[in-house]
Amino acid sequence: MLDEASVGLYHDQGYLFPFRAFSTERAAAYRADVERTCAESPGSAEAALGAVSYRVKPYLLFTWAARMVRETAILDAVQDLIGPDIMVFHTTMWWKKTKSPNRVPWHQDGTYFGLAPFEHVTAWVALSPSNTGTGCVRIVPGSHRSGQMPHADHREPSLMLSRGQTVVADIDYQSAKPIVLLPGEFSLHHTLAVHASDPNTGDDDRIGIGISYIPTRVRHVGPTRLSATLVRGQDSYGHFDLEPAPVTDLDPAAIAAHRDSDARFWQASRSIPEMAGMH
């Protein structure tokens, strides 16, 4: 899907966009799935009692999300960057309500996953208009080439990351570029690319899903053995336990697999210095 010039631009700038993942009609159907799923997701009180959160790793719980992370156009583009053997390590549903003050602070994805080497690629898939009005992702070109940066916690209710984790570094944020996407389009960014998003001042909700793809050669550096989903190629490394796709939505086996994967993820997170104190 990507020519040599595009691959070179990704390695130089740390991001690429836009690409078409699927039609606007299919985007609308996926949006309806997300809205229904989020509406049915347990609230914070239920989650505190051990209920399953639908917003994280929904591809283990719902057939529609399992289809999305395997969309051919997305995998074709990712393959051109990391090779043919691809796993999904994580996903998060992002729903920023219209006129919402909520925002995402400047951060690097790679700070919190404990993966090596830094070859994780995030595909950010838009299911509604994602632009400067609705609070699209903004990214600092070339910031991934500076390596892993320190982060600090900022506990503010409007911050959409769990601890408001924010980069602590001297960065030219004025150079940040907006990642403008139409429904059904996606962007790609490097795990160390510094990015953020502003409040939604537009007339529509901003809805999208961030999918974290890794080549099978990537490993987790902590003591906890994690799980991941093989979505293309073969796994000849065995760094992760392989996750099953859901046969039907929220079937008992799917819920069990999701609980196991989620529990391992948070256990591993506690062993990463930057994650200390989370949950």
Read off the pLDDT of residues 166-176 as tens digits, 9 standing for 90 and up. 677 778 888 99
Looking at residue 156, its pLDDT comes to 62
User: Could you tell me the maximum CA-CA distance found in the chain, to the nearest angstrom?
Assistant: 50
pLDDT band at 276 (very low <50, low <70, confident <90, very high): very low
Res 179 pLDDT > 80: yes
**How far is 112 from 191, CA to CA, in rounded Å?**
10
Read off the pLDDT of residues 31-53 as tens digits, 9 standing for 90 and up. 999 999 888 776 554 454 456 77
**How far is 150 from 96, CA to CA, in rounded Å?**
26
Question: What is the average per-residue pLDDT within 231-254?
Answer: 97
Its pTM stands at 0.90
Q: Which residues contact 247 (CB under 8 A, 6 or more apart)?
A: 63, 253, 254
Range of lowest pLDDT (74-78, 124-128, 145-149, 263-267): 145-149
Domains present along the chain, CATH in parentheses: 4-41+52-275 (2.60.120.620)
Looking at residue 44, its pLDDT comes to 52
**How far is 209 from 124, CA to CA, in rounded Å?**
6
Segment 221-224 long-range contacts (CB within 8 Å, at least 24 positions apart): 221/114, 221/115, 221/116, 222/114, 222/268, 222/271, 222/272, 223/271, 224/264, 224/267, 224/268, 224/271
Looking at residue 278, its pLDDT comes to 34
Looking at residue 166, its pLDDT comes to 67
